[in-house]
Amino acid sequence: DAKTTQPPSMDCAEGRAANLPCNHSTISGNEYVYWYRQIHSQGPQYIIHGLKNNETNEMASLIITEDRKSSTLILPHATLRDTAVYYCIVRDKAAGNKLTFGGGTRVLVKP
Amino acid sequence: DAGVIQSPRHEVTEMGQEVTLRCKPISGHDYLFWYRQTMMRGLELLIYFNNNVPIDDSGMPEDRFSAKMPNASFSTLKIQPSEPRDSAVYFCASSYSGSANEQFFGPGTRLTVL
């Protein structure tokens, strides 16, 4: 699976949009981009995934660049409960169901 | 559904003892994963099963670790003998192949080996 690069940490203000970047310059055509988050002392939680098109669900939006070499997870209105480590993962569905977690981005939402 | 259930939630044991961690996946899910999380190494996949069959155990650190899935609703991860460096949080997750392959994680077992 392709490697991802994320900033180690970022702060954002409560009520504002949080934009979390991820670089995956070696992504191949069959690989999907997945986002998970891990709130302190809990197991990781699935947020969203996509292949080429932008995706939106009740938690977040995923914007994937046209060349697919990077993506951005958008939390539209960050709350204090969104404080967590966010993981961007690239995965080839045809290669099995493994997820390889990197270091992620530690997001702190401040009042 | 109650989600993925893990037991015990906390385990403190002494070096050399056998440790057994348990997991009950979400009903209907056909994949089960065991992960380990430490500060030094982050979140690592140890092994995963599909339809109760081990598919990839390349992440299992050594022969002291073994995992079984005797049926679709139960799995164990055993460490024998345990060592202090095995101290970590162990997560179990399950997923359904017919969906987005979203993995649902349990609350984890915090293992401390003294």
Q: Which tens digits make up the pLDDT trace of B26-66?
A: 999 999 999 999 999 999 999 999 999 999 999 998 899 99
CA neighbor of B50 nearest in space, from B71, B69, B73, B31: B31
Q: What is the tens place of the pLDDT at every residue in B12-27?
A: 999 999 999 999 999 9
**Nearest CA of chain B to the CA of A99: how many Å?**
8
**Nearest CA of chain A to the CA of B42: how many Å?**
7
Interface of A with B (CB under 8 A): 36, 38, 42-46, 49, 87, 93, 96-103
Interface of B with A (CB under 8 A): 4, 31, 33, 42-45, 48, 50, 55-56, 91, 93, 95, 97, 100-108
- Give the largest CA-CA distance in chain A: 42
CB contact under 8 A, B56 and A96: yes
pLDDT above 80 (res B69): yes
Q: For residue B43, list chain A residues with Cβ-Cβ distance below 8 A.
A: 38, 44, 87, 101
Q: For residue B91, list chain A residues with Cβ-Cβ distance below 8 A.
A: 43-44
Confidence of residue A19 (pLDDT cuts 50, 70, 90): very high
Which secondary-structure segment (H or E) carries B102? none
Confidence of residue B100 (pLDDT cuts 50, 70, 90): low
Confidence of residue A62 (pLDDT cuts 50, 70, 90): very high
pLDDT above 80 (res B105): yes
CB contact under 8 A, A97 and B50: yes
Please provide residue B93's backbone torsions phi and psi, each rounded to the nearest 5 degrees: -140, 155
Please provide residue B57's backbone torsions phi and psi, each rounded to the nearest 5 degrees: -115, 20
**Nearest CA of chain B to the CA of A106: how many Å?**
13
The torsion defined by the Cα of B57, B59, B63 and B69, in degrees rounded to 10, comes to -40
B105 vs A43, A49, A98: nearest CB: A43
Q: Which residues of B40-59 are buried (b: 16+ CB within 10 A; e: fewer)?
A: eebbebbbbbbeeeeebeeb
B41-44 contact pairs (CB < 8 A, 24+): B42/A101, B42/A102, B42/A103, B43/A38, B43/A44, B43/A87, B43/A101, B43/B91, B44/A101
What order do you get walking across the sheet with B19-24 strand by strand? B5-7, B19-24, B74-79, B65-71
Q: For residue A44, list chain B residues with Cβ-Cβ distance below 8 A.
A: 43, 91, 93, 103, 105
CB contact under 8 A, A97 and B45: no
